[in-house]
Amino acid sequence: MKSPPIVPLPVPSVRAYDTPNDAGGSITVEWELSPVDSVVRMYEVYRLEGSPEAEPVSAGFVLRGTQKFQDNNLKDGETYYYFVRTWVGEEYADSRLSNPAVPSAQWFHTGRKSALVILLIYGGLLFYYLQQARSGKPLYIRKIAGLEAVDEAVGRSTEMGRPILFIPGIGYVSDIPTLAALAILKRVAKKAAEYEAEIIVPNFDPIVMTAAQEVVKEGFMEAGRPDLYNEKNVYFLTADQFGYAAGVDGIMVREKPGAVFLQGVFYAESLILAETGHSIGAIQISGTTSVTQLPFFIAATDYTLIGEEMYAASAYLSRDPLSLSTIKAEDVAKLGFIAVFLIGILLETLAAITGNQALHFFKNWFSLF
Amino acid sequence: MMRRTIPLIITFISGILLVFALFIPHKPFGNLEERFNDWYIIVSGFTMILGMDSLLLHHWNKIRRRQADWFHSAALIVAFAVTLVWGFYSGIKVGNPFDPKSTFLQYFYTYVFVPLQATMFSLLAFFIASAAYRAFRARTLNATLLLVAAVVVMLGRVPKGSGASVVLFGIALVALAVGLVLHGRSLVDLRGQLLAYGGAALSILAIIPIAKYFPTYLPAVADWIMNIPQLAAKRGIFIGIALGGIAMSLRIILGIERTYLK
Amino acid sequence: MNLWDRLATIDRRIIYLLVALGVIIPIVAKLSFRVTPLREVRQAYEEIEKLPPGSVVLFSIDYDAASMPELQPMLVAMLDHCFRKNLKVLMMGHWPLGLPLGQIALEQVAQKYHKKYGVDYAFLGFRPGVAAVMINLGKDLRQVFNTDYRGTPVDSLPVLRNVHNYNDIAILVGLEAGATGDAWVQFAQARYNQKIILGATAVVAPDLYPYLQAGQIVGLIGGLRGAADYEQLVQVPGPAFLGMPAQTIIHILVVVLIILGNLGYFARRQGGRR
Q: Is the pLDDT of residue B262 over 60?
A: no
Average pLDDT over residues C231-253: 91
pLDDT at C274: 46
Domain holding A125, by residue range, is 110-137+322-366
pLDDT at A3: 56
Torsion (CA) A238, A243, A244, A246 in degrees, nearest 10: -140
Are residue A55 and residue A185 in the same domain, yes or no? no
Is C55 close to A62, i.e. CB distance below 8 A? no
Are residue A297 and residue A151 in the same domain, yes or no? yes
CB of C200 closer than 8 Å to CB of C220 = yes
Are residue A131 and residue A248 in the same domain, yes or no? no
Q: Is the pLDDT of residue C34 over 90?
A: no
Are residue A56 and residue A155 in the same domain, yes or no? no
Please tell me the distance in Å from A115's CA to the nearest CA on chain C. Answer: 13
CATH, residue A46: 2.60.40.10
| Helix/strand/coil for C225 | helix
* Chains linked to C by 3 or more Cβ pairs within 8 Å: A, B
DSSP state of A234: E
Tell me what the pLDDT averaged over chain C comes to.
90
Are residue A313 and residue A329 in the same domain, yes or no? no
Are residue A224 and residue A345 in the same domain, yes or no? no
Average pLDDT over residues A186-202: 94
Are residue A155 and residue A287 in the same domain, yes or no? yes
DSSP state of A87: E
Instruction: Considering only residues C51 and B189, tell me which one the structure prediction assigns the higher pLDDT.
Output: C51
pLDDT at C47: 95
Are residue A126 and residue A254 in the same domain, yes or no? no
- Interface residues on A facing C, Cβ-Cβ cutoff 8 A: 60-65, 68-70, 72-73, 240-242, 267-268, 279, 291-293, 368-369
pLDDT tier at B127, thresholds 50, 70, 90: very high
Instruction: Considering only residues C265 and C232, tell me which one the structure prediction assigns the higher pLDDT.
Output: C232
- CA-nearest residue of chain B to A328? B247
Contact residues, chain A, for C177 at CB < 8 Å = 267-268
CATH, residue A313: 3.40.50
Average pLDDT over residues C59-77: 93
Are residue A195 and residue A47 in the same domain, yes or no? no
- Pair type for strands A164-169 and A199-203: parallel
In-domain check, residue A332: yes
pLDDT digits (tens, 9 = 90+) for B17-26: 988 888 888 8
Are residue A158 and residue A227 in the same domain, yes or no? yes
Q: Pick the closest to residue C221 from C89, C63, C26, C106 (CA basis).
A: C63
Cβ-count burial of A116 within 10 angstroms (0-12 exposed, 13-18 middle, 19+ buried)?
middle
Q: Pick the closest to residue C62 from C198, C266, C252 (CA basis).
A: C198
Cβ-count burial of A244 within 10 angstroms (0-12 exposed, 13-18 middle, 19+ buried)?
buried
Q: How many CB atoms are closer than 10 A to CB B148?
A: 15
- Pair type for strands C121-126 and A14-18: unpaired
**C-alpha distance across the termini of chain A, in Å:** 44
Contact residues, chain B, for C128 at CB < 8 Å = 41
Is A68 close to C167, i.e. CB distance below 8 A? yes
pLDDT digits (tens, 9 = 90+) for C174-210: 999 988 999 999 889 987 889 999 999 988 888 888 8
pLDDT at B1: 60
pLDDT digits (tens, 9 = 90+) for C113-123: 999 999 999 99
pLDDT tier at A216, thresholds 50, 70, 90: very high
Q: Answer with the one of A33, A62, A94 that is the final residue of a domain.
A: A94
Are residue A294 and residue A359 in the same domain, yes or no? no
Phi/psi for A148 (5° steps) reads -60, -30
Number of domains forming the structure of chain A: 3
Please tell me the distance in Å from C191's CA to the nearest CA on chain A. Answer: 6
Q: What is the pTM of this model?
A: 0.85
pLDDT digits (tens, 9 = 90+) for A236-289: 999 888 999 999 999 999 999 999 999 999 988 999 999 999 999 999 999 999
Q: Read out DSSP for A170-217? A: T--TTSHHHHHHHHHHHHHHHHHHHTT--EEEEESSHHHHHHHHHHHH
Region class of A143: left (phi > 0), else alpha (psi between -120 and 50), else beta:
beta
Q: Which one of A26, A29, A70, A175 makes the best mutation probe of the C interface by having the most chain C beta carbons within 10 Å?
A: A70
Average pLDDT over residues B216-224: 86
pLDDT at A177: 93
Q: Is the pLDDT of residue C273 over 70?
A: no
ipTM above 0.90, yes or no: no
pLDDT digits (tens, 9 = 90+) for A314-357: 888 888 888 888 888 989 999 999 999 999 999 999 999 998 88
Q: Is B135 touching A (CB cutoff 8 A)?
A: yes
pLDDT tier at B158, thresholds 50, 70, 90: confident
Instruction: Considering only residues B1 and A231, tell me which one the structure prediction assigns the higher pLDDT.
Output: A231
- Interface residues on C facing A, Cβ-Cβ cutoff 8 A: 12, 52, 54-55, 64, 66-67, 97, 139-140, 162, 164-165, 167-168, 170, 177-179, 190-191, 201, 203-204, 206-207
Tell me what the pLDDT averaged over chain A comes to.
90
Are residue A330 and residue A312 in the same domain, yes or no? no
pLDDT digits (tens, 9 = 90+) for A68-89: 888 888 899 999 999 999 998 8
In-domain check, residue A99: no
Residues 6+ apart with CB under 8 A from C62: C93, C94, C95, C98, C174, C175, C176, C177, C178, C180, C181
CB of B73 closer than 8 Å to CB of B62 = yes
pLDDT digits (tens, 9 = 90+) for C145-161: 989 988 889 989 999 98
